[in-house]
């Protein structure tokens, strides 16, 4: 066993004495040591129940003959971090979570791992760590929040952000806003739409790293406790068979995840996290892969913010496996991939029935023939940009309008709320990229203000930052290269015409090559917004959005 390094032999007497200090018995030391990575804390609603999940995992591991040992991972609530300096500290935690888990797992020589994440950065951060450490590992998340009820309709986090915009526009009273505030987040769990956390928890199931229901069983259901116990038992089976993450998260599994992403209508952040996970398994991942997959994959789900359904509805309808089974009818999945069930994808999904054709449209009757995401390229984004096209109204799929340029999120918000943005405008928010932000903030306040003020069908937003899964509208993010490194987005001037053509995957600035070359000559890099601490170190190492904002070892290109 890997843990023999710390438990067996005379040289290990000091190690065993320290384990004695933990209260660990000889019998416990002789069993496989299973690290349980707990993302529990008291500030993230999606994580406040993870102590219960972790306890259930411990019981499962112990029942199956392992010794469970808990250690922590940090976690940020993107909702609470939204719209201020806190959001610069969100994406950057993904890599802290991956790196710190690598450090803990290898420092203590665990035999296997159970990852217990839930919200936006913990799921991808721990998937990256799992691929990197590559010892038998299973995931069990905390589960989604139930939807709230406002005026008889199911509502969630995107509606409260948009309610703020409606209130600013005078179409929603202060009492109305307060009602949203009090009702949209009724339980613990990851916010109830197909936002980033739930996107990544569902894709964990597709990647084969979580058991059935990992993405959709609500946080407050006792079924989730049972799922956690099963995950604890299952990791011991994976250990016995030595099935490791890189046997499961193969290139084909990543392509399956991208495919199901298209059908579910996942968050644009999946297009940062999948390339980063792919990087950990040594896969070359060009983001425009996504378009080929998007072309042939129908969009089957319109969960919030794209439509009125929520994670609890997807769960009732049969969950992720039912969506996969639909896609399998078109032969779109690699069914031979191994999973943590010890079975292949094909074996896992064969009996999954779609129980609600309104929540999961059958492949014969999709919301659209093409998938949820698209990658746009052109002279404004030579290395690519990402849009959730399933959340863009038909009249904005092709749009042309004057650039309204802002060098940070706060300035854009002020202009939108101050009524300075009008129908037709293309709002450009730059110097918010991975290096420039630093930390590539989510622009949920600007997109919600646009939607809430009734401009969602006439105004587009382009940024080298990123979006929340709760953002909707013609919101094009991850524009690469970013402004801070002199990407063309830095050269846009107020009033330049920008052309967006989603069906043709184009994003163009209507300025001649000569003029752009002239502007480039004059462009000078700005002094970094943050000069000390983790953000400064992060900015020095981070790559661009199209590469998943991975951290590169300087000089290696890796």
Ligand X SMILES: CC(C)(O)[C@@H](O)C(=O)O
Q: Which two tokens stand for residue 233?
A: 């038992």
49, 101, 192, 196: which one contacts Mg ion (CB under 5 A)? 196
Q: Are 352 and 451 in contact (CB under 8 A)?
A: no
Least separation, in Å, of the C-beta of 269 and Mg ion?
6
The residue from 468, 471, 475, 480 that is catalytic is: 468
Nearer to ligand X, 275 or 469 (CB): 469
From ligand X, Mg ion, none, interface partner of 409 (C-beta below 5 to 8 A by class): none
Least separation, in Å, of the C-beta of 519 and ligand X?
33
Query: Using CA atoms, how far apart are residues 34 and 227, in angstroms rounded to an integer?
Result: 17
Nearer to ligand X, 232 or 307 (CB): 307
Least separation, in Å, of the C-beta of 78 and Mg ion?
3
Q: What CA–CA distances, in Å, run from 378 to 117, 149, 308, 315, 475?
A: 37, 42, 33, 39, 16
Judged by CB under 6 A, which stretch of 94-102, 195-203, 377-385, 401-409 contacts ligand X?
195-203
Tokens 């420039």 correspond to what residue?
Answer: 436
192 has catalytic annotation: no
Strands 497-501 and 475-480: unpaired
144 is a site residue for ligand X (CB under 6 A): no
284 is in an annotated binding site: no
Q: How far is CA 100 from the centre of its chain?
A: 19
Name the phi and psi angles at 520, rounded to 5: -65, -40
3-state secondary structure 204-265: HHHHCCECCCCCCCCCCCHHHHHHHHHHHHHHHHHHHHCCCHHHHCCHHHHHHHHHHHHHHC
Q: Which two tokens stand for residue 512?
A: 């001649």
64, 123, 157, 202: which one contacts ligand X (CB under 6 A)? 157
Helix, strand, coil tally for the chain in percent (to 5) = 45, 15, 40
83, 213, 298, 469: which one contacts ligand X (CB under 6 A)? 469
Q: How many CB atoms lie within 10 A of CB 358?
A: 11
120 is a site residue for Mg ion (CB under 5 A): yes
Judged by CB under 6 A, which stretch of 335-343, 351-359, 397-405, 465-473 contacts ligand X?
465-473
111 is a site residue for Mg ion (CB under 5 A): no
State the Cα torsion 287-542-193-370 to the nearest 10°: -10
- Provide the β-strand partners of residue 384: 480
75-134: which residues touch ligand X (CB under 6 A)?
78-79, 120
Q: How many CB atoms lie within 10 A of CB 316?
A: 14
- Find all residues with CB under 8 Å of 201, minimum gap 6, and list them: 117, 118, 123, 141, 143, 144, 190, 210, 214, 215, 216
429 is a site residue for ligand X (CB under 6 A): no
Nearer to ligand X, 191 or 461 (CB): 191
- Find all residues with CB under 8 Å of 83, minimum gap 6, and list them: 409, 413, 444, 445
Judged by CB under 5 A, which stretch of 193-201, 211-219, 404-412, 505-513 contacts Mg ion?
193-201
30 is in an annotated binding site: no
35-54: which residues touch ligand X (CB under 6 A)?
none
463 is a site residue for ligand X (CB under 6 A): no
197, 207, 217, 461: which one contacts ligand X (CB under 6 A)? 197
Least separation, in Å, of the C-beta of 42 and ligand X?
18
Strands 398-406 and 381-388: unpaired
493 is in an annotated binding site: no
Q: Which two tokens stand for residue 501?
A: 């053509």
- Provide the β-strand partners of residue 509: 498
196 is a site residue for ligand X (CB under 6 A): yes
3-state secondary structure 185-198: CCCCCECCCCCHHH
Query: Using CA atoms, how far apart are residues 73 and 107, in angstroms rounded to an integer?
Result: 15
67, 122, 370, 468: which one contacts ligand X (CB under 6 A)? 468
442 is a site residue for ligand X (CB under 6 A): yes
Judged by CB under 6 A, which stretch of 192-200, 213-221, 310-318, 433-441 contacts ligand X?
192-200
Nearer to Mg ion, 3 or 122 (CB): 122
Nearer to Mg ion, 122 or 250 (CB): 122
Nearer to Mg ion, 67 or 468 (CB): 468
Judged by CB under 6 A, which stretch of 162-170, 179-187, 188-196, 212-220 contacts ligand X?
188-196
Least separation, in Å, of the C-beta of 191 and ligand X?
5
* Environment class of 10 (CB within 10 Å of its CB; exposed 0-12, middle 13-18, buried 19+): exposed
Q: Which two tokens stand for residue 65?
A: 């003959």
Least separation, in Å, of the C-beta of 314 and ligand X?
16
470 is a site residue for ligand X (CB under 6 A): yes
120 is in an annotated binding site: yes
Q: What CA–CA distances, in Å, run from 32 to 27, 57, 111, 232, 240?
A: 10, 15, 6, 12, 10
If binding means CB under 6 A, how many residues of this protein chain bind ligand X?
A: 14
496 is a site residue for Mg ion (CB under 5 A): no
Which residues belong to the annotated binding site? Answer: 78, 120-121, 442
Q: What is the binding site for Mg ion (CB under 5 A)?
A: 78, 120, 196, 468
Which residues belong to the annotated binding site for Mg(2+)? Answer: 78, 120-121, 442
Q: What is the binding site for ligand X (CB under 6 A)?
A: 78-79, 120, 157, 191, 195-197, 267, 269, 442, 468-470
Annotated active-site positions, please? Answer: 468
């Amino acid at each position: 066993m890997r843990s023999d390094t710390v438990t067996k032999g005379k040289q290990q007497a000091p190690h065993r004495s320290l384990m004695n200090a933990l209260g660990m018995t000889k019998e416990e030391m002789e069993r496989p040591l299973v690290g349980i990575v707990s993302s529990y804390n008291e500030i993230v609603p999606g994580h406040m129940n993870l102590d219960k999940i972790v306890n259930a995992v411990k019981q499962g591991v112990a029942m199956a003959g392992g010794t469970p040992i808990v250690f922590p991972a940090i976690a940020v609530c993107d909702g609470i971090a939204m719209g201020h300096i806190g959001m610069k500290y969100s994406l950057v935690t993904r890599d802290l979570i991956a790196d710190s888990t690598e450090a803990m797992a290898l420092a203590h020589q665990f035999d296997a791992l159970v990852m217990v994440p839930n919200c936006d950065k913990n799921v991808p951060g721990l998937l990256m760590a799992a691929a990197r450490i590559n010892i038998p590992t299973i995931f069990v998340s905390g589960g989604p929040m139930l939807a709230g009820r406002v005026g008889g309709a199911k509502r969630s986090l995107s509606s409260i952000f948009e309610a703020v915009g409606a209130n600013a526009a005078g179409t929603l009273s202060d009492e109305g806003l307060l009602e949203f505030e009090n009702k949209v987040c009724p339980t613990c769990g990851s916010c109830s739409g197909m936002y980033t956390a739930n996107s990544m928890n569902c894709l964990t199931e597709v990647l084969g790293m979580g058991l059935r229901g990992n993405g959709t069983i609500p946080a407050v259901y006792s079924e989730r406790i049972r799922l956690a116990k099963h995950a604890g038992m299952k990791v011991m089976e994976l250990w016995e068979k030595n099935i490791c993450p890189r046997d499961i998260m193969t290139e084909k599994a990543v392509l399956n995840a991208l495919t199901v992403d298209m059908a579910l209508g996942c968050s644009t952040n999946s297009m940062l996290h999948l390339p980063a996970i792919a990087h950990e398994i040594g896969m070359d991942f060009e983001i425009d892969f996504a378009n080929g997959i998007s072309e042939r994959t129908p969009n089957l789900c319109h969960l919030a913010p794209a439509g009125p359904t929520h994670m609890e509805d997807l769960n009732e309808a049969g969950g992720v496996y039912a969506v996969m089974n639909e896609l399998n009818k078109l032969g779109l999945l690699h069914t031979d991939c191994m999973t943590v069930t010890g079975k292949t994808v094909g074996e896992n999904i064969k009996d999954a029935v779609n129980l609600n054709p309104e929540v999961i449209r059958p492949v014969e009757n999709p919301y659209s023939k093409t998938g949820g995401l698209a990658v746009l390229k052109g002279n404004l984004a030579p290395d690519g940009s990402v849009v959730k096209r399933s959340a863009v109204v038909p009249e904005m799929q092709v749009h042309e309008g004057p650039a309204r340029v802002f060098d940070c999120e706060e300035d854009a918000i002020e202009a939108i709320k101050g009524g300075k943005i009008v129908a037709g405008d293309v709002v450009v928010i730059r110097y918010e990229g991975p290096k420039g932000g630093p930390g590539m903030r989510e622009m949920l306040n600007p997109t919600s203000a646009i939607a809430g003020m009734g401009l969602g069908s006439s105004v587009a937003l382009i940024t080298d930052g990123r979006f929340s899964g709760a953002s909707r509208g013609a919101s094009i993010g991850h524009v690469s290269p970013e402004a801070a490194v002199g990407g063309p987005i830095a050269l846009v001037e107020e009033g330049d015409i920008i052309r967006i053509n989603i069906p043709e995957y184009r994003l163009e600035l209507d300025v001649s090559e000569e003029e752009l070359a002239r502007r480039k000559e004059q462009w000078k890099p700005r002094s970094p917004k943050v000069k000390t601490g983790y953000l400064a170190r992060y900015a020095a190492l981070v790559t661009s959005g199209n590469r998943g904002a991975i951290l590169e070892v300087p000089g290696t290109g890796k």
